[in-house]
Chain A
Amino acid sequence: AQSVTQLDSQVPVFEEAPVELRCNYSSSVSVYLFWYVQYPNQGLQLLLKYLSGSTLVKGINGFEAEFNKSQTSFHLRKPSVHISDTAEYFCAVNHQAGTALIFGKGTTLSVSS
């Protein structure tokens, strides 16, 4: 069975600092991996996705993630965060196209000045 573990429930950082949000997954087969951002009382916005090919994936708003098959990880990074990046971030996985995404519990990123 698939599962997703987001290792940090809350990550507080200062503005312009780098940040890494960690995500590990468990699956015995090939996977598709996603990062979504959610602002209060809103739906999910796709930041980036890994389907195949290059393991370094670049997304919107300056975010990137690296797929590491040996460590079963897909950590999200941003070299310099803004106050506006404060939100909830979800890592998600599925192994078969067309099936539902399985989500991690989320990481709250809080950016302060």
Chain B
Amino acid sequence: GAVVSQHPSRVICKSGTSVKIECRSLDFQATTMFWYRQFPKQSLMLMATSNEGSKATYEQGVEKDKFLINHASLTLSTLTVTSAHPEDSSFYICSARARAVNTEAFFGQGTRLTVV
């Protein structure tokens, strides 16, 4: 099946710094990528949708200046958490849809971000 690689799996950063999370589709072209945030013991909340070559569409309540999303190629999307604060600590998961099979989304392994 299609593989989505998310890196890093865990990151600890100091408050006020920025962190970049990468999401790569390894064996398919991802025309659309989605970024989710998951709080402990809770469901996945959609943060934003990005299409290759265009600006991301953010869900209501998500600060686009804090969570910068770039989808510069058909195999790579990045999420940058800028000026991170402890309340940004969470589990972030990306998913990607293939051009040819757009009825299914493939998920990365997730990134555990801890801001200290």
- Residues of A at the B interface (CB closer than 8 Å) are 32, 34, 36, 41-46, 49, 51, 90, 97-106
Contacts and interface: CB of A to CB of B under 8 A. Distances in A.
Interface string B2-38: 0010100100000000000000000000011010000
Contacts of B102: 97-98
Give the top 6 A-B pairs by smallest Cβ distance, nearest first. A44-B107, A43-B109, A43-B107, A98-B102, A43-B110, A105-B43
B93 interface: yes
A97 B31 CA distance: 12
B42 A100 contact: no
Given A44-B107, A49-B104, A97-B103, A103 B49 contact: no
Nearest to A52: B103
Interface of B is mostly: strand
Interface of B: 4, 6, 9, 31-32, 34, 41-44, 46, 49, 91, 93, 95, 97, 102-110, 112
B6 A43 contact: yes
B87 to A, nearest CB: 20
Point out which of A34, A101, A102 has the most chain B C-beta atoms below 10 A from its C-beta: A101
Given A41-B91, A98-B32, A100-B46, 18 more contacts: A36-B107, A41-B112, A42-B109, A42-B110, A43-B93, A43-B107, A44-B107, A45-B107, A46-B104, A49-B103, A98-B97, A101-B95, A101-B105, A102-B46, A104-B43, A105-B43, A106-B41, A106-B42
